[in-house]
Amino acid sequence: MTESIISLDSINPIEFFGVNNGKLDLLKKKFPLLKILSRGTQLKLSGAPEEVTIAQEKIGQIISYLERNGNLSENYFEQILGDEEKVDNFKDRNANEILVFGPNGRNVKARTANQKKMVSLADKNDIIFAIGPAGTGKTYTAVALAVRALKNKAVRKIILTRPAVEAGENLGFLPGDLKEKIDPYLRPLYDALDDMIPADKLSYFMTNRVIEIAPLAYMRGRTLDNAFIILDEAQNATELQLKMFLTRIGASAKAIITGDLTQIDLPKNQKSGLEKATRILKNIDGIGYLQLDEEDVVRHRLVKAIIRAYDANKE
């Protein structure tokens, strides 16, 4: 007797199990000698070693298809179970666009040409700079890439950080404990995570520091390894802060730095380090650079017009 547990974290479990577990019933019918149990996003197989091995291969093919395409008809599900060549024959123009499946089966994917380019750059580089105006999805896409890496076990943890510049990163005078002090400045990162990870699992990840959200000042002195790290609102980091962050990155880590050079909130006597960093580092092998613009805005249709109006009337 052999047991195997298969994770479905990288796909939408509803698409795998089917309506009223219709696809799961097909799987059980295909392998009547196996005991197949589902629990959350896990599938447990029990039975003879050769049967478990064959079932693992078929389930792996189905998972691979769903990772690429997002959905799978019950008819095609059944065909994959019975035909070794079916999985190799599909070519879908939406392949690999879906980054993660959020709660309730929501597909999170790159929606614009530059967002897709951001995904491609992140796959090819260990550090990327994504620069652009508000609403272009740079932070959201970065968080999706980090969640995908965590689910695929490419990293052990996610670290999300941004400068708490509104409080001068001197948070002591604010009321409440540390979490209550910094949460308002990190809320956009929480919002993105809420769209991609079920509340109970997100709470578990946060409690166990699998996902860590902290102000940039708290990165000093650390080595960030086996992690996917995102520095958001990097235009509000000084040159020293940005250099400090970039030199924290460990050998087995990836980092995305996002920012909008038109919205610098630093005091007048402090200079943003983002422009200099992108200028002197963009040609280093392993560091990617992406400029997003108003065409990438995925918020209200008027946001594009607002960005264009401000760009046209720079003082």
Give the torsion sign (CA, 56, 61, 66, 68).
positive
Within the chain, all domains assigned CATH 3.30.1370.10 are found at: 2-81
User: What is the third-level CATH fold of 2-81?
Assistant: Ribosomal Protein S8; Chain: A, domain 1 (3.30.1370)
List, for residues 270-311, the tens digit of each pLDDT value: 899 999 999 999 889 999 999 998 777 776 667 777 877 887
User: 250 with 227: CB under 8 angstroms?
Assistant: yes
Residue with tokens 């740079």: 138
Q: What is the longest distance spanned by two Cα atoms in the chain? A: 74
Averaged over 162-181, what is the pLDDT? 56
* For residue 95, pLDDT beyond 50: no
Within the chain, all domains assigned CATH 3.40.50.300 are found at: 98-312
pLDDT of residue 65: 79
pLDDT of residue 86: 45
List, for residues 1-42, the tens digit of each pLDDT value: 889 999 988 888 888 898 888 899 999 999 999 999 998 888
User: 96 with 5: CB under 8 angstroms?
Assistant: no
pLDDT of residue 138: 93
Burial class for 266, CB neighbours closer than 10 Å (0-12, 13-18, 19+)? middle
3-state secondary structure of 6: strand
pTM (two decimals) = 0.68
Smallest Cα–Cα separation from 36: which of 159, 287, 28? Answer: 28
- What's the mean per-residue pLDDT of the chain? 83
Indicate the residue type of 226: N
**Ordered alpha helix ranges (H), the chain:** 13-17, 22-30, 49-69, 74-82, 86-89, 113-124, 138-151, 178-196, 199-207, 239-246, 274-281, 301-312
3-state secondary structure of 178: helix
* For residue 238, pLDDT beyond 70: yes
Other C-beta atoms closer than 10 Å to the C-beta of 81 total 19
The domain over range 98-312 is classified in CATH as 3.40.50.300: yes
